[in-house]
Amino acid sequence: MVISLLSAVLSGAPAPERFEDPNGEVRDVRIVVPTATGRAAFGTQALTKSLRKTLGAHIDGLVPSKRLQAAQRRLGVRGAGAQRTENLAKAARAIRAEYVLKVDVTREGWKYTARARLIRAEDGEVAMDFRSEFFRPRKEAADRGRRIGRRTLEQILALRRGEGPPGLAQDADNFEPSGDDGDGRGDGGEDARSRARSTSDDRATANSKPFDPPTGGANADGGRADTSGGTASSGTSGSAGSDRASNPGAEGATTRRPWDPVPEPTTVAEESPKARRNQSGDVFHASVLGGAGVVRRYILSTGGIPSSLSYQLTGLGLVQSEVEVEPHNFPFGIRLGASWRPVRYAINIPGEDPVRTAGMILGFPAMVTFPITLNGSGRHAYRLKPGVGVRLDMVRVAIHRGNRVLSSSALATTGGARLEMPFNDTFELTLGLDAGYVLQYSETPTTNGDPGLGLMFGGDIIFRVWLSDLLGITVATRMDYLQMHFNGEGSRQIPENMGQLVDASLSTFDLNVSAGVALRF
């Protein structure tokens, strides 16, 4: 029944009032609107699109956000630093923009908050700090973008007319509040002052969740609830306010007078460590895993026909680790890995006694990555990480009769990419592909021939479940494939039932599955 009543109220509520600028006073403003930060599920894309559309209908100088990003790269500003007020203003000055409108969308329980800050490029001061709350991103995010756009236009118009707070207006001396009701009216009349209320409380809006009615029938600040989506007739005008979806009669509500100074908003650096990591991402990732080499195939062929020196191993033990570091304000990261698999060989060659020996298989990949954010921000960002690096693979085998199993080393230059997909705060999936060219290959104590062309291919599937802000569980699957070609005749002993080993080719295939713990901060 509550849902039915809510639907009836929302469907009958009028839309917010439109911005009017008959003289085109804001037409030549140069403003840049970066994509709203926050997860895609928070409605950031829809909000940003409607916000830009609202501003673009009245402003010709809407600067593409790509130009701001390019300016930040030239200035060397990346990671968490790119979201700081002073750095946004610095980049805006580089592209000759007057304002930056920064919007952050956060979630607390079932309530979403879009916080919009209008930053002056000239000095980095915040000319507007406005919050708009909502509960249904898919249906309400676009509406919040329009509301923020209208508020921004009103504030810019007020600043151009010298009607804003003293620290922000072009001519603050002419601003003389009058009246005891705190409605911001002065000699300029109600019409001018109403446009200056760019951040006043927009009480119970058309798309807000229902709330408990305030006791006494009036808001805590003396204003009346306005379900039309316009401004409430209260004393909350100025440059900081909210578009609340919560109880307007809650205790502790404050009234900001239009001539009060504007406080500097909390920056990313001043927030809690967890909030800062959610916003800017992690610097350090590490994992330690244990598992098994499900299968290892070693196929030595001549003329495309596998020889009797080929073998397959199953059930190998596995221990591996990986460390990844991505410093903030740097365009690259470093990923280092190591794996160790102890091996017990038991190989049957026709006409000979079984070969019994021991050894180990080692792997040491290293890569420099260049993260590209596809969507979202911080820990909630979908990111593509192309990279280049090297990989060293080694097989070490104890000396045994006939040396039927050779020790080897392969050094390759590699390139590849990983796609990181965080589904929510708990679950994360990573897919990776890489390939490499073998620079050096050696065998001991004998050889299959002179090494020729060698190629490596690999793939990863990594699933993480984060149990806390720092610790999680990782399940990983890794596939590796090596293809080597040899020239001439090798020096190794050949079984009696096998012909000559000339111009041989070698392929190895490894499939590993492991699980362990992950650390991030």
Q: Which residues of 180-215 are buried (b: 16+ CB within 10 A; e: fewer)?
A: eebbbbbebeeebbbbbbbbbbbbbbbbbbebeebe
Instruction: Specify whether 178 is located in the same domain as 290.
Output: no
* Domain's final residue, options 245, 264, 283: 264
How many domains does the chain fold into?
2
Instruction: Specify whether 362 is located in the same domain as 467.
Output: yes
In single-letter form, the type of residue at position 484 comes to M
Predicted local distance difference test score (pLDDT) of residue 376: 79
Instruction: Specify whether 202 is located in the same domain as 310.
Output: no
Instruction: Specify whether 183 is located in the same domain as 240.
Output: yes
Domain that holds residue 432: 273-520
In a domain, 1, yes or no: no
Predicted local distance difference test score (pLDDT) of residue 13: 40
Question: Can you give the pTM of this predicted structure?
Answer: 0.55
Residue 502 DSSP class: B
Return per-residue pLDDT of the chain as tens, 521 residues.
444 444 444 434 444 457 888 888 899 999 999 999 988 889 999 999 999 999 999 999 899 999 999 999 898 887 777 888 999 999 999 999 999 999 999 998 889 999 999 999 999 999 999 999 999 999 999 999 999 999 999 999 999 888 765 444 333 333 333 333 333 333 343 443 343 333 333 433 333 333 333 333 333 333 333 333 333 333 333 445 555 543 333 333 344 444 344 444 444 434 455 555 555 578 899 999 999 989 999 999 988 889 888 888 877 789 999 999 998 778 899 999 999 999 888 888 777 788 889 999 999 999 999 999 898 778 888 999 999 999 999 999 998 887 889 999 999 999 999 999 999 889 999 999 999 999 999 999 999 999 999 999 999 999 999 999 899 999 999 999 999 999 999 888 888 777 788 999 999 999 999 999 999 98
Instruction: Specify whether 45 is located in the same domain as 131.
Output: yes
In a domain, 234, yes or no: yes
Instruction: Respond yes or no on whether the N-terminal peptide bond of residue 445 is cis (omega within 30° of 0).
Output: yes
Instruction: Specify whether 142 is located in the same domain as 47.
Output: yes
Dist CA 219 CA 181 (whole Å): 14
* Domain's final residue, options 264, 293, 319: 264
In a domain, 487, yes or no: yes
Q: For residues 335 and 367, is the Cβ–Cβ distance under 8 A?
A: yes
Instruction: Specify whether 257 is located in the same domain as 374.
Output: no
Dist CA 222 CA 409 (whole Å): 79
Instruction: Specify whether 317 is located in the same domain as 227.
Output: no
Q: Give the CATH number of the domain where residue 400 resides.
A: 2.40.128.90
